[in-house]
Structures are given as structure tokens and as C-alpha cells.
Chain A
Amino acid sequence: DAKTTQPNSMESNEEEPVHLPCNHSTISGTDYIHWYRQLPSQGPEYVIHGLTSNVNNRMASLAIAEDRKSSTLILHRATLRDAAVYYCILRLSANAGGTSYGKLTFGQGTILTVHP
């Protein structure tokens, strides 16, 4: 299975942009890139996902390298509430409704600290 590599920790200041990197040099052409985050004392929550093109939603943006060997989660203006562990996950494409369609493998993630 393809693996992801993330920095153990990063720091940011409030209201500044944050770029969280993820390397996945062994990604296959059918692997989707997902990001989840886990706030303190809570379960993880879905942030964003993509395959080849950059993606934006209300929470963040996902920039995917042209060769797909790396990606970056972008928080445009960090808030204190964004302090969390951020997980970059590869998901093998599968048919919707299939038995293993939703299986995700979480790594260690990046601990993001946001300073006031």
C-alpha cells in the first residue's frame, strides 16, 4: 500500500496561512488523497479530498502536485480552533457501495499548534 509522510509538528500564528505538506511518492494512479483532522479530545473529522486537481471547500484548499507525489493542505487564515492533528490519507479507488469502499488508513499526522 502507498504510504504518506508528514512532518511531526508545525506551528503557525493566528490569522496567518498554514501550508501542511504531505509526501506520497508511491501513490498509484487510482489513489485519492484525503485529509482529516482531529481536534483535542474529539474524533477525527473530514476536511477535504482530491484526485488530481486542486480542490477548495469552506474549510481548506488542497493543492496536489502535478506528478501527484505530494500534496499540501492550505488553511487560509488559521484560527486557534484549527489547532489539531492533521492526517493525510491515501484511499484506493473502489466502486461506490463496495465492501471496502470507505476503508481509510490513518498515519501519525502533523500536530498543528496555532499561536495567538
Chain B
Amino acid sequence: DAGITQSPRHKVTETGTPVTLRCHQTENHRYMYWYRQDPGHGLRLIHYSYGVKDTDKGEVSDGYSVSRSKTEDFLLTLESATSSQTSVYFCAISETSRAYEQYFGPGTRLTVT
């Protein structure tokens, strides 16, 4: 299995508080992605990174920011969490030559009350 960990695995927070989710990889892969998964919507791409300090928006990026200061870490921040951001968040990684073959982490279940 690809070395991907996500932390925390579960989190409950209140509306209006900032939240940061961490994705850590030990594979030295170039590409990293953040998705959210909600019933009825499937997986939707939030942000992705194609290198250190190189990031771009996905289809549902509003309300989220990301940072990647090291190859191994990709952080997703909710500046001011809202109930609509209650979801399961998945991180994924892929290597340059086979970027379409993404390896997913175990997911983080975030509940915003």
C-alpha cells in the first residue's frame, strides 16, 4: 500500500472555527489532491498540487485553502468552518509518469456543528 496518512481521522468542530487537515506521504510523489465525498455527490476535487508550492483549484474550492511547503505534506485549511463542509475528506497522491493512477488515504471524517 502507498504510504499515505491523514490526520486527524475524525474531528468535530464548531461553525466559525478554523480547521486544518493534514495529508502526509512517504512515496515522494509529485502530485497530491484533496477530495471531499458527500452522499449524492460522489467525490469532488477541492484542490490539488503539482509540486512544492504549486497548487491549483478543483471544482469545489470555495471556503478552502491549501499549502504545500514540502513534498511529503499537503495541508487543507477551512478558514471558518461551516456546516456545509461536514464531509469525508480524502487525500490522494500520484507520481509524475502515472498521475492518473491515484492512491488514496484512509479519509478524515469532519463534522461541523
Residue positions of A touching B, CB distance < 8 A: 32, 34, 36, 42-46, 49, 87, 91, 96-109
Contacts and interface: CB of A to CB of B under 8 A. Distances in A.
A44 B43 CA distance: 9
Indicate the size class of the contact surface on chain B.
Answer: 20 to 34
Nearest to A43: B104
B76 to A, nearest CB: 15
Interface in B7-32: 30-31
A97 B99 CA distance: 8
B106 interface: yes
A73 to B, nearest CB: 16
Nearest to A49: B100
**Main SS of chain A's interface residues?**
loop
A43 B102 CA distance: 10
A96 B56 contact: no
B79 interface: no
7 contacts: A43-B92, A44-B43, A44-B104, A87-B43, A102-B94, A104-B45, A107-B42
A91 B101 CA distance: 11
Contacts of A108: 42
B62 interface: no
